[in-house]
Amino acid sequence: MSALFSPLTLRSVTLPNRIVVSPMCQYSAERGEATAWHMIHLGSLGLSGAGMLFIEATSVEPDGRITPGDLGLWDDATEAALVPVLAAIRKHSHINVTMQLAHAGRKASSNVPWQGGQLIPVSQGGWLPHAPSALPHKAGEEPPLALDAAGLNRIREAFAASARRAARLGVDALEVHAAHGYLLHQFLSPLANQRADDYGGSLENRMRFPLEIFDIVRAAFPTDKPVGVRVSATDWVNGGWTLDDTVAFAHELQKRGCDWIDVSSGGVSPLQKIPLEPGYQIPFAKAVRRATGLTTIGVGLITDPLHAEQLIEAGDADLIALARALLYNPRWPWHAAAQLGATVEAPPQYWRSQPRGQKALFGEISFGQR
C-alpha cells in the first residue's frame, strides 16, 4: 500500500491519507469576514481528495491582520461569515478541516502582495502594529508598538476567544501559527525580540509567550480534537533562531500535548538567504521528528508524488503539505493516487472523470446508466 495514502489518527481525527492542503492567505476577506471567494477557493480544495484542509491564517484580532484583506475570527460577524463556507464543504466532502490561528505582529498593516506587500502607513489607512520589541521588520519602516502587560493579556484573550469560536464552528483541528516572522515567531527569534523582562533574553524566556498561547488555545478547544503548531525551524540569518532552538521548543510543546509540528522556515528578516530546491525544508522536519517523536508535517516545494511517497516511506515526515502546487493543480491528490495505485475520495459528480485503466481510483463505482 502507498505510504502517502495510508491513514493517520490524531486524537479523534483520522486522516485517510498524508496529504495536507497548507494554509494559504488569500487576502480576500472584508473586515475579516469570509466572502464568496472563500466559498469558491476552499470549496474547490475541499474536493481535492487531500486528508486535511487548512483554512488560511486567521487573525485573532483586527490589528493582527497582515493586510486589510486577511481572514479573521474575532467577533460574531467574522464567525457567522464562515458558517456557510464550512457547511458547503461538509455537505460535499469528508475532508478534515483545520484552522490556523494567527497574529501578524510587526508584519501587520501591509499591502496585499499584488500591490507590493509593503507596510501601509497610518496616514494612508494603515495601523500601528504591535510586536515584542519596537523593532521594524525592514529598515526605514516605522517601528511597531512594543507590547506591554496589558497588550500581552489582550492577545492571550484574543487567542482563547478565537479558539472557542473555532470550536463552535466545528472545525476538526487547530494550528497555532508561530512561523514566518509573525508575532509568536517574533517572540522566539532574538532578531525580533530584545525585551528585558521575563519574555526576552534567554531561550526559555523567548519561548514563554508562544508556549502560553499554545496552552491557552489547547485549553479552549475540545480535548478530543488535535492542536498543532507551525514553526520556522531557522531564520536563515546568523544570530537568529536555529534548528536546535526549534527542537528545544518542540520538546516543550510535546510536554503540553501538542499533536503535530508543521515545520517551515524563515520570514522574520528580509536579510534571510534561503537555498530553494524541492524539499528544502524536509531536513528540519526530519530532525524534529527524530529528536522528539512528534508527528511532523513536511513542506517546501514538494510537487512530485513519488518524492512525497519517498519522504513518508523514509520517515522524514508524517504528513506532506502542499501549497502553490495545489493552487496550480487542485486535483493533485487524484493524480498522485493514480500514479501510486491508491484510492482517493471524490464527489460522485466527478466519478466519470477517472482515466481508462484507473477504474479503482475512486473506489468501486457503479453509474447505473442504461
| pTM for the full predicted model | 0.95
d(CA 140, CA 106): 13
d(CA 49, CA 17): 9
Residue 367 falls within a domain, yes or no?
no
Residue 250 falls within a domain, yes or no?
yes
User: What total of structural domains would you count in the chain?
Assistant: 1
Q: How far is CA 15 from CA 18, 53, 87, 124, 132, in A?
A: 7, 10, 19, 45, 36
Residue 78 falls within a domain, yes or no?
yes
Q: Do β-strands 145-146 and 173-178 pair in parallel, antiparallel, or remain unpaired?
A: unpaired
Segment 26-45, tens digit of pLDDT: 999 999 999 999 999 999 99
The dihedrals phi and psi of 119, each to the nearest 5 degrees, come to: -60, 135
177 pLDDT higher than 70:
yes
Segment 294-323, tens digit of pLDDT: 999 999 999 999 999 999 999 999 999 999
Is 323 strand, coil or helix? coil
Q: Which residues are catalytic?
A: 182
Residue 101 falls within a domain, yes or no?
yes
Mean pLDDT value of segment 155-165: 98
Q: What is the CATH number of the domain that holds 265?
A: 3.20.20.70
Residue 1 falls within a domain, yes or no?
no
Which range marks the domain in which residue 331 is found? 8-353
Residue 329 falls within a domain, yes or no?
yes
Give the pLDDT band (50/70/90) at residue 364.
low
Residue 361 falls within a domain, yes or no?
no
Residue 136 falls within a domain, yes or no?
yes
* Percentage of the residues of the chain whose pLDDT score is greater than 70: 98
